[in-house]
Structure formats: C-alpha cells, structure tokens
Structure 1
Amino acid sequence: MDSRYLQSFVFVVELGSIAEAARRLDLTPAAVAQRVKMLEAELGTTLVRRSGRTVGATEAGERILARARTVLHDIRDLRSDIEDTDQLGGQLRLGGMATMMASLIPDALAVLLNRHPQMDFYLEPGTSLDLYRKVTTGDLDAAVIAQPLFNLPKSCDWHTFRTEPLVLLTPATMHVNDVHATLLTEPFIRYDRNVVGGQLADAYLRQHGIKPQQRCELDGLAAIATLVDRGLGVSLVPDWAPTEYPGISVRKWALPNVAPKRLVGLLWGRSCARIRLVQAFLGAADSIERERHEHGHKHGKPRR
C-alpha cells in the first residue's frame, strides 16, 4: 500500500475538501481524488462521501482513520530516525491533566520544538486515570498525570516532577485558627473523588472523622479556586499553583497532621516506539520544574 494514498485520504477527511487537501499536498484536485480512489480500490470499499463541495468519511472510512494516522506517524518517525540520528523528529503523542496543560506542558514543548524543529506533537487532555490507561494500551506515548494510587505495571516508567501535599484553600481574607474546625463549619467545595487528588482529600477527611458541609463537587482545580475566591466555600486540594490564575486571590493553610501528597510526573511505556522523544520531553520538563523550584517560583506557601 502506497503511504501517499493514505496521506491523501487523511487530508481529505480532516480538511473536508479535496481542493484544500490538494493545496496542502501541492497536487491537483484530480490527482488527490485519484489517490483516494486507488486506496478505495485496494481496500475494496468506499472511504469518502461527497455532499456538495464537502467531503467526509463513510462508516468504513471512520473505522480506518485513526489507524491511518498512526501508520503515517510511524512512517514519519522511521524516516526521521534513518535520515538524522542527531536531530529528533516525528510526533510525540502526549497526554496531560488539566493543571499541567496550562503550565508545564506548553513550556516544555516550546523549549523542545525550539531545539528540534523537525518534531511535532499531539496533545490529549484528560483525567489522570484515563490518560494512564491510554499510555498502558499504547494509544499515547506518555502523559503528565497524578500518580495513580496503585502500583504501576512493570511495562511503564515513572518520573516525579513535583510533590503536592494537601492544603486547605480559603478566600484570601479568611483567617484560620483551626483547619479541621474550618473544614467542619464552612461550606465545602469538594474535589472530585474520581480523581487522585479528590481521593486523597476524601481519605484524609474520613481518617479524621470530618464530615464537611458539602456545597458541590468539581473536577477542575481552577474552578474550585474561583469559587473559593468568590467566598462560596473552602476546599481541600493538592498544593498546586492557584495564585497563577489572573484575578484569583486565595490563601493556603497547611494541615495540622501529616498531609497526603499528590505526586505529579511523567508516565511512559518502556517499549514506546518514540522513546527518544519521550526522553527529550522529560529532560526539558524536568529542567523547567527544577528551575522554578530553585528560584522560588511557587507562589503562596501554606500558612499554619
């Protein structure tokens, strides 16, 4: 099978236009249409449907689209490895939890692509557990997530970027003498118990017999910080960086007992075909995190 046929098919479906695909591939529309027809003939099925000037995938085309993209990515990676062993190329398929998508991941990718302009990347947001599953199944090369609360399989490697102990999050104007009493008496904004940080918070509350007056349960730390800033409640969350959000003014209070910690780091498959890209991202991200720590870029240390 000619990979050019696959590339034409993918472009036509993604762009929704044979003419636009032809411009991207520097071909005539007739040549692109012919390539798609050749692929359909080879596979024995219709892959694209036309509706006026718009082109989309048939049911059969949708079934092979993801695999076609993967094949093209693998071919590009193979060519890059053969052509230049000193330069990194190919596409890194990376997942990221929400807080990392807004901070570490774009910073590390910017550094990496500046060093290796032949590289490309695909980003997928999600919860730590969902991204963990996609790394273990090979759908993603790596993911920046909160370490799951179970033993990782031997097929995966892990590197911790930061350790985030649980803290009480309150409006900046609130003064706290007793963290546990505050958790008991103030309206409580719970961190989603389907994610690692929320599970740690729930375990702490149970351990100390604290039954808060729950107002709502959310899975986004940015949303929780916004609600706390508006005086709508307090929360128990990992000590990430809520003060980095514009317009947010909150205070963090250390817990009186040993605080559970959320570990945030990089998970990747040991047999990943793009291990060089994963290691390059790891190096860039780790350098950024160490520099931030050394220069005190973490805002709002918890108060006691």
Structure 2
Amino acid sequence: MDTQFLETFLVVVERGSMAEAARRLGISPAAVAQRIAALEAEIGAPLLMRSGRAVQPSDAGHAIIAQSQRILTDLRQLRLIARADQPGGELRLGAISTALTGLLPPALRRLTSAAPDLDIFVLPGTSPELYRQLSKDSLDAAILVQPPFAFPKTMEFQVLRREPMVLLCPEAWADEDPAALLRDRPFIRYDRNNWGGRLLDNWLKAQHLNLREWLELDQLEAIAVMVSNELGVSILPDWAPPWPEGLRVRRLPLPAPEMPSREIVLMWNRASPAARLIRKLQTELQLQP
C-alpha cells in the first residue's frame, strides 16, 4: 500500500472536501480522487461519502482513521530514527498566525541554511487546533499560546516571547482618556475561542468594565486594520512584528493594574523522535531580537 494514499485520505477527512485537500497537498483534485479510488480498491470498501463538494467518512472510513494515523506516525518515526546521525530529516511544525509572520521566518531561514537537507512541513492554525495535532503526534512541535490548563508531563515547552496586552486605538483618538475610550467607543473583542482571547476575557470580567462590544474576531491583524479605520478600539497582545503596513493606530497603556501577558511558547513531545531537529529549531528561535 502506498502511504501517500493514506495521507491523502486523512487530509480529505480533516478538510471535508477534495478541493481543500488538493490545495493542502499541492496536487490537483483529480489526483486526490485517483488516490482515494486506489485506496478504496485496495481496502475493498468505499471510504468516503460525497454530498456535492463536501465529503465525510463512511462507516469503513471511520473504522480506519485511527489506525491510518498510527501507521503514518510509526513510519515517520522509523525514518527519523534511521536518519538520526544525518544533518537532515523531516520536521512537522505548527504555528499560530503571528508566529508565522514574526518569530518563525528568520529562524527557519537560518535553520534551512545550516541544514539544507532538512524537510519542513508547517501547519498554520489556532493554539487549540495545534495542541490537538501535537497531542496526536501529527506534529513534532508547535509555536502557540501557552495552554491555560495543566498539560501532560510528556510535553515540554520553552517560552519564546511574553506579549503584554495593550489598548489599541486609532491615531485620531489617541488624545482621549483610555478609560473614556473603553467606555464610549465601540469595542472589538479578541475571540474568546482563542487562548489569548480567553486570558483577556478573564481579566475584563475581573475589571467589571462596561464595554460597547460589537465585533469578535479571531485574527489579530484584522482587528488592527478595523481599529486603524476608526471602527472601534481593542485590547490585544503586543505581538511580534511585522504588523500590517499602513496602520494608523496607537498602543496605549491600560487604565488598570495587573494586566495579563500572552506567552508564546515552543511546545513538543518529550519523547519525540525529532528531538534533535527540535533542539536545532530552539537554538534558532533563541536568536530572535
């Protein structure tokens, strides 16, 4: 059996469509369909049910998902173990959006320059999504917001950056009192489904602030653009640059004590067979300004 077929099947299940799986894998939808057809012929049962453009696993598909994940994980581990004394290898890394544009690119540039034979797969996502992938061994490491709960001792982490929360307002409103801005201007909330947004929500509840909420977004860059266009104010982590170009915003200190900070961490499984590559990534991330 070609393990590419299993990988394609799992990506289709994760994405819920052939077209999305094709974009993720960098192949055509027809090639995705051919791989699925070949896998179904080898398994001897239909694995997907199609409804328009959407697909979902059949009963047989559901039955093989967990075992397929284990097979691919075991195969990756065998490859890493066999190449332990070589400068290259494969590193599967997850990263939240602000790390993708800020912390990660210069570190990856140095890492790939030092180890040109290194194969790197980068999965973007939210912190909860990346933590789930890390827990399933689908990722070797992830740059994410530190989880707001106790995680297993099998996981290790290193704090890369502490980002204090700041009041973000349009330049045109910067002379107004921060307390008045929060009271009188529309408030654009950092999504509470994100761990950083949940951290901020707990602080807001403790302050008993009377906010005029009207939007809740999960993309920090989008919130900053909204604020720049005088659509409201927000409280956001002061994330690693770059920020979107052309913003007309000001960062203001908040009129309250004990402001929380969002901690960005590199997290990995202690027993990961990619530990050698993760250590190299740690070294490069520690060189950040």
Into which bin does the TM-score normalised by the smaller protein fall? 0.7 to 0.9
Distance in 1 separating the partners of 2:157 and 2:191: 24
Tell me the CA shift for residue 148 of structure 1.
1.6
Distance in 2 separating the partners of 1:176 and 1:129: 37
Does the CA contact (< 8 Å) of 1:6 and 1:72 recur in 2?
A: no
Distance in 2 separating the partners of 1:11 and 1:195: 28
In structure 2, relative to structure 1, the CA distance for the partners of 1:243 and 1:213 (3 Å cut) is farther
Matches within 5 A, 1:120-269: 120-241=119-240, 244-256=243-255, 257-269=257-269
Tell me the CA shift for residue 78 of structure 1.
3.3
The CA RMSD over aligned residues, in Å, is 3.3
Unaligned runs of 5+ in 2: 10-24, 48-56
Distance in 2 separating the partners of 1:240 and 1:8: 37
- Paired residue for 1:286? 286
Using the size of structure 1 for normalisation, the TM-score is 0.73
Tell me the CA shift for residue 112 of structure 1.
1.1
In structure 2, relative to structure 1, the CA distance for the partners of 1:47 and 1:274 (3 Å cut) is farther
- Paired residue for 1:51? none
Distance in 2 separating the partners of 1:138 and 1:128: 15
Q: Does 1:114 align with 2:117?
A: no
Distance in 1 separating the partners of 2:283 and 2:109: 13
Does the CA contact (< 8 Å) of 1:176 and 1:182 recur in 2?
A: no
In structure 2, relative to structure 1, the CA distance for the partners of 1:122 and 1:194 (3 Å cut) is same
In structure 2, relative to structure 1, the CA distance for the partners of 1:77 and 1:234 (3 Å cut) is same
Q: How many residues align?
A: 257
- Paired residue for 2:273? 273
Distance in 1 separating the partners of 2:8 and 2:201: 49
Q: Does 1:80 align with 2:76?
A: no
Distance in 2 separating the partners of 1:166 and 1:45: 55
Does the CA contact (< 8 Å) of 1:96 and 1:126 recur in 2?
A: yes
Distance in 2 separating the partners of 1:225 and 1:94: 27
Distance in 1 separating the partners of 2:194 and 2:242: 22
Q: Does 1:6 align with 2:5?
A: no
Distance in 1 separating the partners of 2:222 and 2:153: 35
Deviations 1:268-296 (A, max 9, x none): 11011211111111111121x2xx2xxxx
Does the CA contact (< 8 Å) of 2:191 and 2:217 recur in 1?
A: yes
Tell me the CA shift for residue 12 of structure 1.
9.4
- Paired residue for 1:299? none
Tell me the CA shift for residue 94 of structure 1.
1.0
Deviations 1:46-88 (A, max 9, x none): 799xxxxxxxxx977895765665455334323322xxx2513
Distance in 2 separating the partners of 1:149 and 1:233: 28
Does the CA contact (< 8 Å) of 1:128 and 1:146 recur in 2?
A: yes
Distance in 2 separating the partners of 1:231 and 1:131: 33
Does the CA contact (< 8 Å) of 1:131 and 1:145 recur in 2?
A: yes
Does the CA contact (< 8 Å) of 2:103 and 2:240 recur in 1?
A: no
Distance in 1 separating the partners of 2:239 and 2:4: 44
Distance in 2 separating the partners of 1:139 and 1:210: 41
Unaligned runs of 5+ in 1: 22-32, 49-57, 293-304
- Percent identity reads 36
Tell me the CA shift for residue 244 of structure 1.
2.6
Tell me the CA shift for residue 106 of structure 1.
2.6
Larger radius of gyration: 1
Question: RCO (CA 8 Å, sep 6+): is it higher in 1 or 2?
Answer: 2
Distance in 2 separating the partners of 1:248 and 1:130: 29
Distance in 1 separating the partners of 2:226 and 2:181: 16
Letter in 2 for 1:162: R
The 3-state SS of whatever aligns with 1:92 is strand
